[in-house]
Structure 1
């Protein structure tokens, strides 16, 4: 009986006895080109084609670590290291496949590996090209001084850009950080313009100076500075004076920040005068005079010098008058207030020939009877200040005898005296005291009857010396020489 014969299959292991161990399988033929192309994807595809699962996993892990390092460090050396890893994978895949006993051309493997690798590399290339485009827009916006556009462009960057081109997009992050600092500077400078606080102004310029030290930020710093300078002068002249005064006194830095000096020179003079005027309206005469005087010290040849000198004079007079009013209010007698500490008011009417209106202080029992056009209660209208002391006995005029049966203690002989009033007379315009003087007021003496007043059981009445009886005309005649020059 004929038995069937079988053609030997070289890939089929020979039959052996049942239970015998299966001989090792020969490695499948491989394509070195496909292995190299597969590893060029950085995903270990070539190792997968060779059946090297562990090497494939190691390749993927190494690629992930290097990509993370490149994205975080954003350094060229990281990209060079990744490039070396890529070349090493290609080379290793090629030689590993070539070391196999059998290898053959596998067009399907080559096509698949090439597709994956081209897809990966093309995606990386497109992302890198897009990253360059983004950074070009960032740099263009920064060079134009437009921080808003620069930040908007940098916001287009995502993780893919950082994987494919971290060193390309990393400078844009610095631009965004600088723009955020400039935003804080702009806000601080705006606050300074709003409240005139030079501390805010100094902080704002400090931020600008710090950003300016970093290359490429000159135009963005200039844009922020120009926005602030265009807001000058502010609505408040005193705030403007403080701000522009600080800018004028600022030490030159020989950079774009020195542009502020031109604005200060143009704006500061008018602000000083305007602030002085505003302070005068608020009755803050000391500060008003200080601003006018600063103007004259710094800009003596300015066209507004005459206005400033007038302001100094007006403020000075207001200060003097305010002081005089205070002293007058504190005067209770001829030894207090203005009478004790005289002060000048340079705006007072001059002490001239004729009758000079006077401000009468102290004991006003007699001075209140003077003509109204000789007296004034307003220090601003007085040429003289006359301090009247209490009346005393002046020259004896006449002694008369009176019968008095009421009491043996009441005098019978009464001497009548002129009314003597010691005076201190000051020229208000200079505050200087005129020659020491007194007045004696004449009047009628020896009336036919002297009257007594009773307070309970006690009779009060004339003593041995009495003042004459004065009329308004007598008082006027006595004081005429005081108010007349």
Structure 2
């Protein structure tokens, strides 16, 4: 009886290895094969159904199967006749086999944890390429039977690292919005405290890279907005500290015409910087750039208008100088601007369809070095006189000759003394212009009636001479 008991104990101990060795000891070949098949099916099912995700279910299932094998080995071993060998020999073999299985299981179960720790170390250093290799090793299907939580933790770490690797691939292709979104997802995945502590600094660096890209190829507004977002979103970071210098570089890079003295392109360069103050109110960085542009704009506008005038680009010159006069009415150059606008007006009229203004008629003397020009209006329309030459200006108010209330339209265009027009005995409106002697371009026109052809001419005004002419309007029938 004792022999049978020791035989049952030996079979149970051998079956405790889970290898069916107790059945082999008892020479129960069918039961040995059957135990192997069931064990194989359980192993395949565990591997295929992610046993590490529900470890207690599978541990219970394997424990029940192992308990069944132990009980079955004891039962069949105890029922048979005592063995002929010394009873301690199979017991020792069973204990040794069980010890080997346990040792192997302990080592096997520690494999995923070791790989996880190596992956986490690489992850924390920002080396996600290496980390993923270790996470893959930890989550290999062969490790499912460890029932270790390390597999799920490794899978989570791998998912986070893959987000980082995808973001870095986007950054490598200069897809900065994609990279920034990727790192945003990575940080959100870990509620702002990811395994890699440097992720937030890397995100700030990507924002700086994006801003640099926009500074090179985008609009001033887009580049500025990208730069301004860095100190707001990442205060105290190295990229945030770099923003002021980057904005200085942006201004320098986008105002090369200003630096080169190319005035008209410089005006266009400055406008986007002027708009920053309106787009980003109460932002000192925007105000600083806008202030620099405001300081540079008056000189650029003035010089651009004068350049266009000298190059006979009169329409552009007028637009620019009128903007200057509107923005800077108290500028010391405003008088010169007014004179130039008159010269532009005269030049534009002179280059169009005009009548020929005859030479002025000497009518007496004037103080030495000067000449006076009297304009008498014999028309029902007010007249405007513009002139440019040694002195440039236009009559405003007193320079406009009022309409003649008792006068009528004649039968010719603007002209001098002719026919019944400008006869004596009628009190007509007049104005007198006093000028230094010299050569002048004159225009006489009716500002209230655009259908009347303006007259243009170049006059040589002699020193000490007074000139007087009467002008009327006459309808043309040809």
TM range (shorter): 0.5 to 0.7
Aligned to 2:59: 79
**Distance in 2 separating the partners of 1:366 and 1:179:** 73
- Mapped contact 1:423–1:437 kept (Cα < 8 A): yes
Aligned to 1:126: 107
- Mapped contact 2:228–2:243 kept (Cα < 8 A): yes
- Mapped contact 1:127–1:165 kept (Cα < 8 A): no
- Matched residue SS, 1:297: coil
- Matched residue SS, 2:18: coil
Query: Unaligned 5+ residue runs, structure 1?
Result: 1-27, 251-258, 369-386, 399-416, 427-431, 440-461, 479-485
- Matched residue SS, 1:361: helix
Aligned to 1:409: none
Of 209, 215, 226 in structure 2, the residue corresponding to residue 238 of structure 1 is 215
Aligned to 1:227: 202
Residues 247-300 of structure 1 deviation map (CA, whole Å, 9 limit, x = unaligned): 4565xxxxxxxx467556534444444323322226433323234666773017
| Alignment partner of 1:98 is 2:78 | yes
- Mapped contact 2:231–2:241 kept (Cα < 8 A): no
**Distance in 1 separating the partners of 2:33 and 2:27:** 11
TM-score, with structure 2 as normaliser: 0.57
**Distance in 2 separating the partners of 1:80 and 1:471:** 117
Q: Report how far residue 359 of structure 1 moved.
A: 6.5
Aligned to 2:9: 33
Aligned to 1:297: 282
161-170 or 87-96, which deviates more = 161-170
Q: Report how far residue 140 of structure 1 moved.
A: 4.1
Q: Report how far residue 128 of structure 1 moved.
A: 1.8
TM-score, with structure 1 as normaliser: 0.57
Aligned to 1:309: 291
Aligned to 1:375: none
**Distance in 2 separating the partners of 1:81 and 1:245:** 60
Superposed, 1:61-210 pairs within 5 Å as 61-71=37-47, 72-74=50-52, 75-77=54-56, 78-100=58-80, 102-104=81-83, 106-107=85-86, 109-110=90-91, 112-143=93-124, 146-157=127-138, 160-188=142-170, 194=174, 199-200=177-178, 202-210=180-188
89-98 or 204-213, which deviates more = 204-213
Higher RCO (CA < 8 A, seq sep 6+): 2
Query: Unaligned 5+ residue runs, structure 2?
Result: 217-222, 258-264, 364-373, 378-382, 389-393, 402-414, 420-436, 441-457, 463-478
**Distance in 2 separating the partners of 1:62 and 1:437:** 117
Residues 154-188 of structure 1 deviation map (CA, whole Å, 9 limit, x = unaligned): 35445554433543333223212211112223344
Aligned to 1:275: 250
Q: Report how far residue 477 of structure 1 moved.
A: 4.2
Structural RMSD (CA): 5.3
Residues 85-122 of structure 1 deviation map (CA, whole Å, 9 limit, x = unaligned): 2222212211232234x233645544554554443332
Residues 361-393 of structure 1 deviation map (CA, whole Å, 9 limit, x = unaligned): 35549989xxxxxxxxxxxxxxxxxx9965446
- Matched residue SS, 2:83: coil
Q: 1:436 to 1:424 in 2, by over 3 A?
A: farther
**Distance in 1 separating the partners of 2:118 and 2:349:** 93
- Matched residue SS, 1:475: strand
Superposed, 1:417-428 pairs within 5 Å as 422-423=384-385
**Distance in 1 separating the partners of 2:460 and 2:113:** 102
Question: Greater helix share, 1 or 2?
Answer: 2
- Matched residue SS, 2:185: helix
**Distance in 2 separating the partners of 1:463 and 1:436:** 21
Aligned to 1:382: none
- Matched residue SS, 1:344: helix
**Distance in 2 separating the partners of 1:203 and 1:391:** 72
Aligned residues: 363
**Distance in 2 separating the partners of 1:294 and 1:317:** 24
Residues 390-448 of structure 1 deviation map (CA, whole Å, 9 limit, x = unaligned): 544697669xxxxxxxxxxxxxxxxxx9999954689xxxxx99558479xxxxxxxxx
Residues 290-330 of structure 1 deviation map (CA, whole Å, 9 limit, x = unaligned): 34666773017x9x94x651323424765787689889977
Residues 54-90 of structure 1 deviation map (CA, whole Å, 9 limit, x = unaligned): 4323322332233334442313212332233222221
